[in-house]
Amino acid sequence: MTTLLHVDSSARRDSFSRRLGQAFAGAWRDAAPDGRYIHRDLAAAPVRPIGQAWTEICDNLLRDGITEIGRYPEAVRTPAQEAAWAVVAPLLDEVVTADVVLIGAPMYNFSIPAALKAWLDQITFPRMSLRGKRFVVVGARGGSYAPGTPRAPFDHHERYLRDFFSGHFGVDDPVFVNAELVNSTVDPHLRHLRDRHEESAANALRAAADLGKELAL
């Protein structure tokens, strides 16, 4: 049975990244009616930041050369570490179980939401591998950060996640679908870009739905 893990991180209850995620997940579930769907909303149920005990678990993994995810509990040795692991275990299990990981990630202040960063920190350990899983990021950005645009150098959103997936998970083929120029819907100074935003959003919704169907097959 194929499994989709859908992670939302937008602080908005109705956001473009959530709409894109719904388009992907809806198409995926239609194409894989017997599949398992897991949804985690990091805004509604925030994951707490990592603490001292989490860093100790990492040290134990490095010291003992443990790289297999299934052996991680061997590095949990004190009551404080057990409490930290109780936070990690269900989050990591969802990722390990999933064949496809769908992440809704709006751009906040040139990067990703703090809620998403906290989740990534909790599930990431030294020399781990998630090769073989498909990662899809559906995002929304207030301006345009496409290659060649004036703000492209400030994109620490898609670029950060690409580097993270590759450097920590060994995943070099994440797919990104972004709706650009979202602020044109509210900012009078960007009103002249509204048509470009609507085109970008429509294209992103189609791409997300097509990708959801494709990855379910």
Which residue reads 């990592």 in tokens? 50
Question: How confident is the model over 152-176, as a mean pLDDT?
Answer: 97
| Residues 109-113: contacts with CB under 8 Å, at least 24 apart | 110/154, 110/155, 110/156, 110/157, 111/156, 111/157, 111/160, 112/9, 112/157, 112/160, 112/161, 113/9, 113/10, 113/11, 113/42, 113/43
pTM given for the model: 0.96
| CA-to-CA separations, 168 to 110, 125, 131, 135, in angstroms, rounded | 21, 8, 10, 13
Average pLDDT along the chain: 97
Whether the CA torsion 179, 211, 205, 31 is positive or negative: it is negative
pLDDT tens figures, 18-46: 999 999 999 999 999 999 999 999 999 99
Q: Tell me the domains of the chain and their CATH numbers.
A: 3-47+97-216 (3.40.50.360)
pLDDT tens figures, 84-143: 999 999 999 999 999 999 999 999 999 999 999 999 999 999 999 999 999 999 999 999
Question: How confident is the model over 55-71, as a mean pLDDT?
Answer: 98
Binding-site members for FMN are 10, 15-17, 107-110
Measured CA angle at 164 (ends 163, 167), to 5 deg: 75
**For residue 75, what are the contacts with CB-CB under 8 A and spacing of at least 6?**
57, 58, 60, 61, 64, 66, 81
Share of the chain above pLDDT 70, in %: 100
Per DSSP, what are the bridge partners of residue 180?
Answer: none
Binding-site members are 10, 15-17, 107-110
Q: What is the pLDDT of residue 217?
A: 85
Q: What is the pLDDT of residue 146?
A: 87
d(CA 64, CA 75) in angstroms, rounded, equals: 8
